[in-house]
A and B are shown apart, each in its own frame.
Chain A
Amino acid sequence: MPVTFTFGEMLSARSVIGTTLAELGKTHDNLWVLTPDIGATLVEFQETFPDRFVDVGLAEQVCVGIAAGLAYDGNIPVVSGMLPFLSMRALEQIRTDVCYPNLPVKIIGTHGGLVGNGGSTHYAVEDLALMCALTNMTVTSVGDPLMVGEVLRQSMTLPGPIYIRLAVGKKDKVLYEEGQHDVRIGKGIIARDGTDATIFTHGTTVAQALQAAEDLAADGRSVRVVDMFTLKPIDEALIAQCADETGGRFVVLEDHLAYGGLATRIADVVADRGIRLNAFERLGIPQVYAGFGDDEELRDKHGYGLAATVAATRRVIAHPSWASSH
């Protein structure tokens, strides 16, 4: 059944995963879905293709190992679960059993960032650092629920593994009009254009960055928002372009450790390519084990909420440029 939606409406990314996998199961008879007991939204696939659905129970390591075995035999396995456990409990299986032989296993899951109020056992906040370190791994973090389906569809033709990170996936804002952007793995999306500064972000904080840009527009500030949903390979050309077009003023906002995720990926590109910036600020989770609270409260408490995003963007815009300070 096709997904219907309205721009601005709240939609469950999980239901998009379920629907998309059921759709892909029809066109790919070698597509398997595996889960460690997180199968509620996979029911459509499970009922349509019971022979290609495996729920191993609470056993992330064997779940990824089985996926590797299936992929060695020519199948396309999708492992769907909760990311704190897939990315850490099964890290070695992902690295050694999947990435080392470069097998087309898709790892998709929820609970990326301080979301879901589960406490630090249930927040994946190091996952992007871990996944970006793995040779052969493509790493994505998707905020718009409909993009999840598109990324999954595109991933079918990837020869190697991919990691697809979601927030909670129960209620996500549809950010883009249908066909508004050319969604391609490896390419960032200019979600809103501007010339004074760029906010780079991914996943659940894209909506917050767009709100910050809107708030700043009321003050006459023109802020670009880039949805850098692919962290690896990173869109180097777009980073260079934004430096040129937005005054060399960057804010990186993410629901992940402030060091090790997108900010680090961008800083690496800036250093490696000798891109000259006037100002760079990173907003993300500090080195703490965050406590409980709803998503917005936690972001505010830990310094990367909406107000902090607006303030940081004002600072980078106000920062003196090289030309005037040297």
Chain B
Amino acid sequence: MRDDVSWQEGERPSVAELEERAFELRSKLLHLCGTYEGAVHIGGDLSAADIFTALFHYGLHVDPHDISNPHRDRFLLSKGHAAVCMYIAMSMRGFFSYDGIVETYGQLDSAYGMHPCKVQLPGVEASTGSLGHGLPIAVGMALSGRHRGDAHRVVCLLGDGETGEGSVWEAAMAARSNELGNLVAFVDRNRQLMTSHAEERIAFEPYPDKWRAFGWDVVEIDGHDMAALVKAIDDLPAPDSDRPTVVICETVKGKGVDFMERNLAWHAGSLGAEDLQRALAALEASRQKETV
């Protein structure tokens, strides 16, 4: 039973509304980058912004006012360096105050840091940041939910670069072995590591086949196509099915700000006042282009 955390009929936003929220999420993210003096992992935040929007504003059955509800879907951010984008997406769903994030991010005693900490910020599901750790934890949560007979899902967002970590594949094997159809991985396939374009260094391809070989159901979509994200969520197998699903989201690192897109210099950075205006203008231009 999940009635107390489920989306109610007609409550879910439309694709157009979700696109609007994704724009707002990117805009708020850029503003934070313009406020905070330190570096923000802006490239991998922007590549995942549509995924965060689709999950927190459409997919996940969660209640921001009842964060311990046992029937809630669990969301694990395995690519922990995208925490700030998650915080903002969650604030827009009502978990936190955006002003609180912007005003305290990265400061002494703030709950909002570069990588999410469950102890300091109970609204997140786990303390993550070291790559390759999220999916194993998600397997444990999925086993627990399955054992209790609960119908919730455990959703884990990974970066594709992160899947170079061997522990991801240990978890992939464990998930299939335990027939965890209540486990869903989203991979932000932005094809960039911190210092390289992935395929130049690491033979990720044939990437979807690697997941298939581990016994997962594989869905491949454009990770910036909100309708495709919504459809992927709608089409997920029932949580009591026996195969885990990976949704491989083809994305662009820095998506929405043309001078950051696929640019290795923008893995992480901060924005001065001028850069901020330039980035916001680029974001607006990108929206106009998409609308046309």
Using a CB–CB distance below 8 Å, which chain A residues touch chain B? 51-52, 54, 56-57, 59, 61-62, 64-75, 77, 92-93, 96-97, 100-102
Contacts and interface: CB of A to CB of B under 8 A. Distances in A.
B133 A96 contact: yes
B170 A56 contact: yes
Interface string B107-134: 0000000000111000001110110110
A69 B137 contact: yes
B141 interface: yes
Interface stretch (B14-22, B52-60, B85-93, B143-151): B143-151
B178 A69 contact: no
B136 A66 contact: yes
Given A96-B133, A97-B137, A100-B127, A61 B166 contact: yes
A101 B126 contact: yes
Contact of B141 (A51, A62, A73, A102): A73
Interface of B: 117-119, 125-127, 129-130, 132-133, 135-145, 147, 166-167, 170-171, 173-174, 177-178
A161 B170 CA distance: 23
27 contacts: A56-B170, A56-B174, A57-B173, A59-B173, A59-B174, A61-B136, A61-B167, A62-B139, A64-B136, A65-B133, A65-B136, A65-B139, A66-B174, A67-B140, A68-B136, A69-B138, A69-B139, A69-B140, A71-B140, A72-B126, A92-B133, A96-B130, A97-B127, A97-B133, A97-B136, A100-B127, A101-B119
A66 B139 contact: yes
Contacts of B144: 69-70, 73-75
- Residue of B135, B170, B173 with highest tally of chain A CB at under 10 A: B170
A73 B130 CA distance: 20
Contacts of B133: 65, 92-93, 96-97
Contacts of A51: 147
B147 A101 contact: no
Contact of B136 (A62, A73, A77): A62
Contacts of A66: 136-137, 139-140, 143, 171, 174
B137 A92 contact: no
Contacts of A93: 133, 136, 167
B171 A65 contact: yes
Given A69-B143, A100-B127, A59 B170 contact: yes
Given A65-B171, A68-B126, A102-B119, 14 more contacts: A59-B173, A61-B167, A61-B170, A65-B133, A66-B139, A69-B144, A70-B144, A73-B140, A74-B144, A96-B127, A96-B129, A97-B136, A100-B117, A100-B119
B140 A65 contact: yes
Contacts of B117: 100
Q: Top 5 closest A-B pairs, CB basis? A: A69-B140, A65-B136, A62-B170, A66-B140, A73-B144
A7 to B, nearest CB: 41
A92 B130 CA distance: 9
Contacts of B178: 54
B140 A72 contact: yes
A27 B143 CA distance: 20
Given A93-B133, A100-B127, A70 B140 contact: yes
Contact of B127 (A67, A73, A101): A101
A77 B139 CA distance: 14
Contacts of B138: 69
A92 B133 CA distance: 9
Given A54-B178, A101-B118, A62 B125 contact: no
- Residue of B125, B130, B174 with highest tally of chain A CB at under 10 A: B174
